[in-house]
A and B are shown apart, each in its own frame.
Chain A
Amino acid sequence: EVQLLESGGGLVQPGGSLRLSCAASGFTFNNYAMTWVRQAPGKGLEWVSTIGDVNSGGNTYYAASVKGRFTISRDSSRNTLFLQLSNLRAEDTAVYYCAKGMIGSDFRGQGTLVTVSS
């Protein structure tokens, strides 16, 4: 069974940094692109970033709203996906979900809440 467990969220001041993790199990991690999607309180879903599968070179893609501030990466030895958040703004406050795949993303975790506030 596919399982995704997000962690690393918390309260951070504007301009601060945070690293989110997503531990994956139940599938061959290296064979799939992995995606981060976020949802601000009371708002809709917003795609944040995708990293390609290892065999295809692991290319990275970002939404315009986070490009240059967020960095997606993956550790094949630990079957873990990461999202490094830097220069955080109030509008980055959201629940961050990781998902298996990009097209037809499969969400299996409960997300991790990032709150940016002074």
Chain B
Amino acid sequence: QSVLTQPASVSGSPGQSITISCTGSGSDIGAYNYVSWYQQHPGKAPKLMIYDVSNRPSGVSDRLSGSKSGNTASLTISGLQAEDEADYYCSSYTRTTTLVFGTGTKVTVL
């Protein structure tokens, strides 16, 4: 089962903006607008932050935004804060009626 490719780590200073990429294929990200992003703090369950490429669930900060171009999705965190330090995973629905997750990105706030 293929996985989506994410950078292993991204870092930024407080107040800065960072972007995490998530690269798939025409069978997943490129096929549907069903990309989600999850935040996971150590020892905790994943938390849904973005769904359907760019929608935020109620209660999620508007500093987070999602987008997609072709087979690559992106998550942007603006006004970086200490609480944003966590692991982030993308996921996508696929043509074979499965889900695929990204490799994960560790975000560090300098």
Interface residues of chain A, those whose CB is within 8 Å of chain B, are 35, 37, 44-47, 50, 61, 63-65, 97, 102-111
User: Would you list which residues of chain B between 27 and 53 have a CB under 8 Å from chain A?
Assistant: 34, 36, 38, 40, 44-48, 51-52
Q: How far is the CA of A27 from the CA of B105 in the complex (A)?
A: 31
Contact A97 B97, beta carbon cutoff 8 Å:
no
Count residues on chain B whose CB falls below 8 Å from chain A CBs: 25
Identify the B interface with A (CB < 8 A): 1, 3, 34, 36, 38, 40, 44-48, 51-52, 57, 89, 91, 93, 97-104
Q: Which of A50, A61, A65, A107 contacts B45 (CB 8 A)?
A: A107
A44-B89 contact given A35-B99, A104-B36, A104-B48, CB 8 Å threshold: yes
Establish whether residues B52 and A47, one from each chain, have CB atoms under 8 Å apart when the complex forms. Answer: no
Dominant secondary structure at the A interface: loop
Give bound CA distance, A109 to B89, whole Å: 18
The docked-state distance in angstroms from the alpha carbon of A106 to that of B91 is 12
Q: Counting chain A CB atoms within 10 Å of each CB, which of B1, B34, B48, B99 scores highest?
A: B99
Closest to A50 in B: B99
Q: A63-B1, A106-B48, A107-B47 are in contact. Are A45 and B36 (CB under 8 A)?
A: no
Contact (Cβ within 8 A) A47 B45? no
Is A97 a contact partner of B99 (Cβ separation < 8 A)? no
Query: In the bound complex, how far is the Cα of B52 from the Cα of A102, in angstroms?
Result: 12
